[in-house]
């Protein structure tokens, strides 16, 4: 069984799929990636599918499952390198990659992950500033 390499670039894991995905390879990738996200504290996963000439329903489901697992582990997933023919095939098959962001290349994918992380941090800061009811915090003074 072939394994898909997972490389760490900063706080992002890069998965470059260069092989035909069998059931065993897909399950192994899901397990390996989940372990690496937890071990490294990665907040982003880039899945590079540049080498794939075709993406069938199996690969589409596998990508969706990986994105769901990553999300549960607090990592944003972006699929990069999708060829036009692959995009057309996905649409024709009626496969929507729900919950998966896409980018043309690795550089743009890294930008999307960074932007998503910045948005999450802004939300965290807004929650820290919120009052006890979740609304804006107000300063009260007693005047008597």
| Confidence check: pLDDT of 39 > 90 | yes
Domains and CATH numbers, the chain: 6-128 (3.30.750.24)
Going by pLDDT thresholds of 50, 70 and 90, the confidence category of residue 120 is low
Reported pTM: 0.79
| Confidence check: pLDDT of 53 > 90 | no
Rounded distance between C-alpha atoms, residue 127 and residue 134, angstroms: 7
> What values do phi and psi take at 67, rounded to 5?
-65, -40
């Amino acid at each position: 069984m072939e394994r898909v390499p997972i490389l760490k670039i900063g706080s992002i894991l890069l998965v470059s799929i260069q092989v035909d995905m069998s059931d065993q390879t897909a399950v192994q990738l899901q397990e390996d990636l989940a372990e690496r996200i937890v071990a490294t504290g990665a907040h982003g996963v880039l899945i590079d599918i540049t080498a794939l000439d075709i993406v069938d329903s199996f690969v589409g489901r596998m990508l969706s499952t990986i994105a769901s697992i990553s999300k549960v582990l607090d990592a944003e997933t972006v699929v990069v390198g999708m060829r036009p023919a692959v995009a057309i095939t996905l649409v024709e098959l009626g496969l929507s990659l729900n919950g998966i962001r896409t980018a043309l290349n690795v550089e743009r994918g890294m930008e999307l992950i960074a932007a998503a992380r910045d948005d999450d941090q802004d939300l965290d800061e807004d929650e820290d500033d919120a009052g006890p009811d979740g609304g804006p915090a107000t300063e009260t003074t007693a005047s008597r």
